[in-house]
Amino acid sequence: MGKVDLRVGLGPLKLKNPILTMSGTFGFGQEYGRYYDLAILGGVIVKAMTAEPRLGNPPPRIAETPSGILNAIGLQNPGVDAAIAEELPLLQDLRRRGTVVIGNVSGYSFAEYTLVTDKLSQSGLVDAVELNISCPNVKGGGLAFGTHPDTVYKVVSAVREVCEVPLIVKLSPNVTDIAEIARRAVEAGADILSLINTITGLAIDAKTRRPILSNVTGGLSGPAVKPVALRMVHEVAQAVNTPILGIGGATTGIDAVEFLLAGASAVGVGTANLMDPLAAVKIVQGLEQFLLDQKIASAAELIGGLII
Amino acid sequence: MGKVDLRVGLGPLKLKNPILTMSGTFGFGQEYGRYYDLAILGGVIVKAMTAEPRLGNPPPRIAETPSGILNAIGLQNPGVDAAIAEELPLLQDLRRRGTVVIGNVSGYSFAEYTLVTDKLSQSGLVDAVELNISCPNVKGGGLAFGTHPDTVYKVVSAVREVCEVPLIVKLSPNVTDIAEIARRAVEAGADILSLINTITGLAIDAKTRRPILSNVTGGLSGPAVKPVALRMVHEVAQAVNTPILGIGGATTGIDAVEFLLAGASAVGVGTANLMDPLAAVKIVQGLEQFLLDQKIASAAELIGGLII
Amino acid sequence: MAKENIGKVLGAEIVDNKILVPYVYQLTIKVAKLASEIKPGQFIMIKVAPGLEPTLRRPFSLHRVDKETGTVQIIYQVVGKGTEILSRRKPGEEIEILGPLGNGFDLGEAERIGFVGGGMGIAPLLAVAEQAVQEGKEVVSFLGAKTGDYLLVKKEFARLGKIFIVTDDGSVGEKALVSKPLEKYLKHHDLDLLLACGPTPMLKALAAIVGAHGVKTQLSLEQRMGCGIGACLGCVVPIKADTPEGFVYKRVCSDGPVFWADEILFEVPKATEKQGGCSCG
Amino acid sequence: MAKENIGKVLGAEIVDNKILVPYVYQLTIKVAKLASEIKPGQFIMIKVAPGLEPTLRRPFSLHRVDKETGTVQIIYQVVGKGTEILSRRKPGEEIEILGPLGNGFDLGEAERIGFVGGGMGIAPLLAVAEQAVQEGKEVVSFLGAKTGDYLLVKKEFARLGKIFIVTDDGSVGEKALVSKPLEKYLKHHDLDLLLACGPTPMLKALAAIVGAHGVKTQLSLEQRMGCGIGACLGCVVPIKADTPEGFVYKRVCSDGPVFWADEILFEVPKATEKQGGCSCG
Ligand SMILES: Cc1cc2nc3c(=O)[nH]c(=O)nc-3n(C[C@H](O)[C@H](O)[C@H](O)COP(=O)(O)OP(=O)(O)OC[C@H]3O[C@@H](n4cnc5c(N)ncnc54)[C@H](O)[C@@H]3O)c2cc1C
Ligand SMILES: Cc1cc2nc3c(=O)[nH]c(=O)nc-3n(C[C@H](O)[C@H](O)[C@H](O)COP(=O)(O)OP(=O)(O)OC[C@H]3O[C@@H](n4cnc5c(N)ncnc54)[C@H](O)[C@@H]3O)c2cc1C
Ligand SMILES: Cc1cc2nc3c(=O)[nH]c(=O)nc-3n(C[C@H](O)[C@H](O)[C@H](O)COP(=O)(O)O)c2cc1C
Ligand SMILES: Cc1cc2nc3c(=O)[nH]c(=O)nc-3n(C[C@H](O)[C@H](O)[C@H](O)COP(=O)(O)O)c2cc1C
Ligand code: FES
Ligand code: FES
């Protein structure tokens, strides 16, 4: 292929290209690393980490829906200490080769979020922390942290204090006013916003009359949610000046272009990895091909380029 | 086919079967009436009516998305007076034959909602009114009526005063807490809740860099949204005792069963009509076949039957 | 225009699906009921694959019909997901059709009829041009495409009467837009009726020319569609009307796709853009 | 168990896709790379149709492999959308495969090996039973299905050694569950190893029996899958472990699908159910 410049800046992060693989769909990178050289990617966001090891939900954890999936993994992970000791070190070579590695932080309390962030931030093993605020606030009646502006402000503020690397706040789409949530996250110190996380959904087996997922509900992701993700990225880009990582249903280079046009500076690939282990590479290539075909010199030119 | 009982009660409405065609996808019934006898249906909800005739949005008004569509018709309709004079009379024979006919009321102000409802309620031409509160509140900063609990309470209360037929309130899914919205609608006097209306989305043409819809955003519907619709129906069914018309992405009899299990007393068919003009009939037949195959005597038995 | 036809849901068998030039295919389907009813200018909606994806059917205009063999032909260009899937369908396979739809062209009493086809818009005109010749009318055709290869049924048109050819690259005929030979022609000749099909900018240019020359003209329009049968109001175009706004939105699928050129508003008046202004259905 | 295999994305050609009994098909694909690597007990994930629908690939166990012709066979039952689409795919068509995946069976040093197959679970056992015979081991098989017609490769198994047959309707063999002849057999005979595949209730019943008799047993498990390569943690089953909860969730796709029967927890302890308890990924 010819010469197009795929580099973009995602706030303080310099990316070799705008494509990052998304938390929970990419493990700690090792599985996909056997399919291709991960250094092809702009970045990798690893599985959610919590203070303690977590078993996660009983199976079934995945249900298929039209052009999408529901998942309720339940944050199975070895805990932040084990991740720092065993998983993240394996990704350091990647960082030296210019692919950013980002830690996804989850929790069920303010204390858990700050503890995990602190450890990751101190570890020196990640380029940034992504705060997953879609988890239920156990002490706050079980509502997700990310669904109330004040809670968002509080949790981001708390985490900000301990976070010495760039802080990405990952927004939940299960809200009335995503722009308001975004504003509060930025006020509280988010360097970057990532959106969307999954939309809560339910799948039912008509014959057994039971939910397909053991957890009853799960998070909807994949191509089905792309129009909602694009809308929210666009809304947030209008509302704040903070750089955006656009996520939701991207499976092709053209999809990535759409996210950039809507106002994202980089694009996350989640469910597509499950649909095809080579998806992220194909998206990088597809984006490059689009730029070549359309005679666009750089990916950065597309950011926020939607004409209205 | 053998004998199964498809009749259900949707609050005060007696339906010959649980399948209703949804507002905006079925015109005033005449087009589909050339494909099949509309009396096969449990009910028909006609296109939104407003106080004055409305042009609607410029084209394009429809964009296709993975397993779904976005629409931004913009409420094109002849106005409630013309509808009462010319359209609704054509559906009266259907009512005599036991298929309910429901008027969908839209508006951009409290006054418009009450005016249109009043006229329809007085007309004697509809079995119920369905209040579409997904429209922007022009005097309230353009936010949709249906996205704030207090506004929902206010608009439903106002309409309730003039509505002498059963009142269905159609909920917008673009909210943080659908159960809370449902509770307020019920407090304000809703006899029936219908959900979901469309989820706001955006589709972009990567090459022209423009939104596909002239209105920029549109409402997402079709199979893609079914998991979200099922989740919300289930949540609302847990929160209130009011009967529910479950809507969103149903294309088969099995889908209808899933909505009933989740807690709906009847099921709306929207986008499926666009995908196949015979869809609603096939769904009625599919539901009947399911009951026969599973040896279930009546559709009503399924309502709320989800085992958790 | 001819009377609206509401169409039926029909199962068709693919007889042939062959590539003509890069990205352009000719699909022949056997579906007797459709063949016996469909008229030039009408269209069909094709469910390109079973199942939920793609969500909607795709609209295509009639190219040719053979009542004897019960076959119907369309010519289509691969431009996106739906047409790409269609191009991979094989002879012998079943495919679901909704049609015939829309109003079709109306030759009326016209004696001298002009045809203006641009690119893929040439294909839908052939059947009606042939009909015109059969009915003893005089036919003049103006065909344009990006290159000579894309002047799809040029030979067939040449058999029917005088033809004027242009291409974007000048590979065949004059290097010009198709409006140019038409405009020249109209300076010295009269036409009772003009029928045209092609990209919207071409139709817009034509509408101006025929307006100036007072030639009655029918244009076949395209719009993104939902139902295809007139129910969803998804496929509208602004058509002049005696209303406060000076126009109403009419449905391409059931009020069209063929409209009188002088009735079409090619630009929506700015002031009316907010008469919808919501994404709520 | 054999070593985990991470699989490749491979294009395969459909050689044959024939119905065996109602709803049950045998698919033969030509894909030399897969044929040369795949081992009994491993599985492949098939993209049943190009495009976005269905979203995910479908997992199927190896039935037979022919390294010489480079072909691989699976036997599958049409139970839903994906298998329905697969059943309509035709010879000559291309289909995308991910595989080989998972660990496969491990015969080890065992001399007398029992095979227990229920329904569709019979098919994945044939290749390993054949391998056992080739390696000079003694094979005893216990096969069960709803009716005689569904005892798919009964004859092939009969050629390999002694077989015990049961059906749900008694149409062939005893009217019983397949655990019954096994239990009887174990009263008087020893087995060094048992390999089993079939519905979960059958596997659960087996696990109890072999536990009581101390027979080392490998069970092939199924679970709804996402990635198929070990990354998403979608396909887990509870496996006993030295943790506070007494178990961990292991991945069927990459830690399995074959597990030692005595390591599997068939019921998740109630108290641990809320160790996830959220739908947030
Ligand atoms: C009445 C009518 C007759 C037509 N006749 C022909 C014909 O004879 N030959 C031919 O090649 N094309 C014809 N078209 C255009 C053809 O329908 C589109 O090219 C086709 O739908 C594109 O589908 P896609 O999935 O490949 O493209 P995509 O861009 O993937 O389609 C996405 C959506 O946009 C719609 N869409 C995209 N382009 C158009 C368009 N130009 N017009 C209307 N809808 C569009 C599709 O139907 C679909 O719903 C006609 C259109 C109309 C309205
Ligand atoms: C390791 C493994 C090996 C298998 N081998 C075979 C085989 O050799 N022959 C055979 O007929 N079947 C086999 N199955 C089951 C087979 O994968 C499912 O029957 C199939 O995926 C159903 O797809 P569907 O689209 O027709 O059903 P749907 O119910 O429409 O599928 C919806 C979703 O649920 C999943 N799903 C549904 N049933 C099962 C199931 N029993 N196990 C796992 N996922 C399921 C699908 O993969 C899909 O993601 C195997 C499953 C696993 C996990
Ligand atoms: C199986 C699965 C597991 C996920 N786990 C996490 C997680 O641990 N943390 C998180 O922030 N998001 C998680 N997500 C959400 C994704 O990172 C992403 O935001 C979402 O899936 C939307 O993008 P997509 O449509 O490209 O998948 C998960 C998604 C899936 C499908
Ligand atoms: C083209 C179109 C027009 C619609 N118009 C209206 C409308 O006028 N009033 C309304 O309340 N809902 C309207 N809706 C929403 C539907 O009635 C329905 O709630 C929604 O589409 C979800 O159901 P579905 O997935 O079955 O389509 C419209 C939907 C579509 C697709
Ligand atoms: S496509 Fe629905 S009205 Fe024309
Ligand atoms: S399917 Fe993803 S880990 Fe097994």
Task: Show me where the domains of chain C are located.
Answer: 8-101, 112-220, 224-256+263-281
Cα gap C231→B278, rounded to integer Å: 13
Q: CB-CB: which of A34, A62, A277 is closest to D224?
A: A62
Nearest listed ligand to the Cα of residue C223: 1
Of A198, A199, A232, the one to substitute when testing ligand 3's pocket (max ligand atoms within 8 A of C-beta) is: A198
User: Which chains, if any, share at least 3 CB pairs under 8 A with chain C?
Assistant: A, B, D
Q: In this complex, which of A176, A227, A262 lies closest to B176 when CB atoms are compared?
A: A176
State the DSSP string of D154-199: HHHHHHHSEEEEEESSSSSSEES-THHHHHHHHHH---SEEEEES-
D3 — pLDDT class (breaks 50, 70, 90): low
Q: Rounded to whole angstroms, what are the CA distances from B228 to A203, A217, C235?
A: 9, 10, 27
Phi-psi region of B216 (alpha: psi -120 to 50; beta: other; left: phi over 0): left
Residue with tokens 């709320």: B304
User: CATH classification of A8-57+74-201+221-302 is 3.30.300.30, yes or no?
Assistant: no
Q: D81 to chain C: which residues are within 8 Å by CB?
A: 51
Q: State the fold for domain C8-101.
A: Elongation Factor Tu (Ef-tu); domain 3 (2.40.30)
Q: Looking at residue D5, what is its pLDDT? A: 59
Answer whether C239's CB lies under 8 Å from C247's CB: yes
Amino acid letter for position A37: D
DSSP per position, D92-153: T-EEEEEEEEB-----TT-SEEEEEEEGGGGHHHHHHHHHHHHTT-EEEEEEEESSGGG-TT
Q: By the CB < 8 Å criterion, does B123 face chain C?
A: no
Starting from the CA of residue A71, give the closest ligand.
Answer: 3
Domain ranges of chain B: 8-57+74-201+221-302
Whether this model's pTM surpasses 0.95: yes
**A12: closest CA of chain C, how far (Å):** 36
How does residue C276 score in pLDDT terms, banded at 50, 70 and 90?
A: low
* Residue bearing tokens 């199924």: D222
Q: What is the pLDDT of residues C136-181, one digit of tens each?
A: 999 999 999 999 999 989 999 999 999 999 999 999 999 999 999 9
Q: How many A from CA of A25 to the centre of ligand 6?
A: 9
Partner-chain contact D226 A32, CB within 8 Å:
no
Q: How many interchain CB pairs under 8 A, B with C?
A: 168
**H or E stretch including B239?**
helix B226-239
Q: What is the DSSP string of C229-261?
A: SSSS--SEEEEE-SSTTSEEEEETTTT-SEEEG
Neighbours of chain A (3+ CB pairs under 8 A): B, C, D
- Confidence (pLDDT) at C278: 76
pLDDT tens-digit map of C74-110: 999 999 999 999 999 999 999 999 999 999 999 999 9
Say if residues D125 and D114 touch (Cβ distance below 8 Å): no
Q: Would you say the C-alpha torsion D243, D247, D249, D253 has a positive or negative sign?
A: positive
Query: Comparing C-alpha atoms, which of A140, A70, A221, A197 is closest to residue B231?
Result: A70
Confidence class for position C274, pLDDT limits 50, 70, 90:
low
Catalytic residues of B: 135
Q: Provide mean pLDDT across the span C255-275.
A: 86
Residue among C224, C226, C248 whose CB faces B55 most closely:
C248
- Please give the pLDDT value at position C5: 59
Cross-chain CB nearest to C279 (options B65, B200, B273): B200
- Tell me: the pLDDT tens digits for D160-211? 999 999 999 999 999 999 999 999 999 999 999 999 999 999 999 999 999 9
Q: Return the pLDDT at B59.
A: 95
Q: Which residues 58-77 of A have a C-beta within 8 angstroms of C?
A: 66-67
pLDDT of residue B177: 96
ipTM score: 0.97
Q: Which two tokens stand for residue A44?
A: 């990798």
The segments of chain A whose pLDDT lies below 70 read 1-2
Give the C-alpha separation, D143 to D153, whole Å.
9
Please, which residues bridge with residue C271 across strands? none
* Residue range C43-49: mean pLDDT, rounded: 97
Q: Per-residue DSSP letters for C69-129?
A: TTEEEEEEE--SHHHHHHHT--TT-EEEEEEEEB-----TT-SEEEEEEEGGGGHHHHHHH
- At residue C10, the pLDDT reads 96
SS3 A139: helix
Q: Whose CA is nearest to atom 23 of ligand 3?
A: A248
User: Which residues share a beta bridge with C76?
Assistant: C25
Classify domain C112-220 at the CATH class level. alpha beta
Which atom belonging to ligand 5 lies closest to the Cα atom of C235? Answer: 4
Within A20-97, residue ranges assigned H as helices are 30-33, 80-82, 92-96
Q: Which ligand neighbours the alpha carbon of C226 most closely?
A: 5
Chains near B, with 3+ CB pairs < 8 A? A, C, D
* Phi, psi values for residue B141, rounded to 5°: 80, 10
The rounded Å distance from CA D155 to ligand 2 centre is 26
**Residue in the structure block whose two tokens are 């000046």:** A241
Band the pLDDT of C262: cuts 50, 70, 90. Answer: very high
Catalytic residue among A135, A163, A266, A269: A135
Per residue of chain B (308 residues), give pLDDT as tens: 458 999 999 999 999 999 999 999 999 999 999 999 999 999 999 999 999 999 999 999 999 999 999 999 999 999 999 999 999 999 999 999 999 999 999 999 999 999 999 999 999 999 999 999 998 888 877 889 999 999 999 999 999 999 999 999 999 999 999 999 999 999 999 999 999 999 999 999 999 999 999 999 999 999 999 999 999 999 999 999 999 999 999 999 999 999 999 999 999 999 999 999 999 999 999 999 999 999 999 999 999 999 99
Q: Tell whether ligand 5 has an atom less than 6 A from the beta carbon of residue C257.
A: no
For the residues D10-19, what does the mean pLDDT come to? 97
